A = this chain, B = another copy of it.
Amino acid sequence: MTVVEAVRWSVSGDAVDIVDQRALPARLVRRELRTVDEICDAIASLAVRGAPAIGVAGAMGLVVSLAPLTDLGAVDFLAAVHRAAERIARVRPTAVNLAWAVRRVADRAAATSGAAPAMHAAMRDEATRVLDEDRAMCDRIGQHGLTLLHDGARVLTHCNAGALATAGIGTALAPIYHATSLGWKIAVFADETRPLMQGSRLTAWELVQAGIDVTVLADSMAASLMRGGAVDLVIVGADRIAANGDVANKIGTYALALAARHHGIPFYVAAPWSTVDAATATGDDVEIEHRSPAELGDGFAEQIAPEAIARYNPAFDVTPAALVSAIVTDRGVHRAPFDFTAARHADGREG
Contact = CB atoms under 8 A, between A and B. Distances in A.
B221 A314 contact: yes
A98 to B, nearest CB: 27
Interface string A304-316: 1110111111100
Interface secondary structure of A, over-half rule: mixed
Given A200-B305, A220-B252, A221-B252, 9 more contacts: A25-B305, A194-B194, A194-B218, A197-B304, A201-B304, A220-B251, A221-B312, A222-B255, A258-B259
Given A216-B312, A252-B220, A200 B258 contact: no
A25 B306 contact: yes
A299 interface: yes
A193 interface: yes
A243 B311 CA distance: 37
Contacts of A189: 312
B259 A297 contact: no
Given A204-B305, A218-B195, A300-B300, A262 B251 contact: no
Interface of A: 25-26, 189, 191-195, 197, 200-201, 204-205, 208, 213-225, 227, 251-252, 254-255, 258-259, 262, 296-297, 299-306, 308-314, 317-318
Contacts of A306: 25, 204-205, 208
A136 to B, nearest CB: 29
Nearest to A252: B220
A314 B218 CA distance: 9
In this complex, the member of A189, A252, A313 whose beta carbon has the largest number of chain B beta carbons within 10 angstroms is A252
A255 B214 CA distance: 22
Contacts of A301: 299-301
A247 to B, nearest CB: 13
A128 to B, nearest CB: 32
A200 B300 CA distance: 12
A219 B194 contact: yes
A251 B218 contact: yes
Contacts of A213: 310
A224 B254 contact: yes
Contacts of A300: 197, 299-301
B219 A219 contact: yes
Contacts of A221: 251-252, 312-314, 317
Contacts of A305: 25, 192, 197, 200-201, 204, 216
Contacts of A200: 296-297, 304-305
A47 to B, nearest CB: 15
Contacts of A303: 25-26
Nearest to A26: B303
A21 to B, nearest CB: 12
A78 B192 CA distance: 52
B225 A254 contact: no
Contact of A310 (B215, B254, B312): B215
A258 B200 CA distance: 24
